[in-house]
């Protein structure tokens, strides 16, 4: 697996945790804000791509 795929998989686990914690109602912009507050550096477009 490529480094990008490994990073996307790690990011997906974090996204799932935030999504479940927020009751499954958050979209990519709000998940992106939560990830940034947690110290992750990624764009909202990448979050949207991984969430798809």
Q: 11-35: per-residue pLDDT in tens?
A: 999 999 999 998 988 899 999 999 9
- Both tokens assigned to 8: 């996307």
Whole-number percent of the chain with pLDDT over 90:
92
Q: Which residue has the tokens 């999504």?
A: 19
pLDDT for position 25: 86
Whether 48 shows a pLDDT value over 90: the answer reads: yes
Measured CA distances, 48 to 35, 39 (Å): 12, 18
- What pTM was estimated for this model as a whole? 0.87
């Amino acid at each position: 697996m490529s480094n990008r795929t490994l990073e996307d998989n790690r990011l997906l686990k974090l996204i799932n945790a935030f999504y479940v914690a927020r009751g499954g109602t958050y979209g990519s912009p709000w998940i992106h804000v939560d990830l940034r507050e947690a110290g992750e550096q990624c764009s909202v477009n990448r979050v949207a791509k991984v969430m798809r």
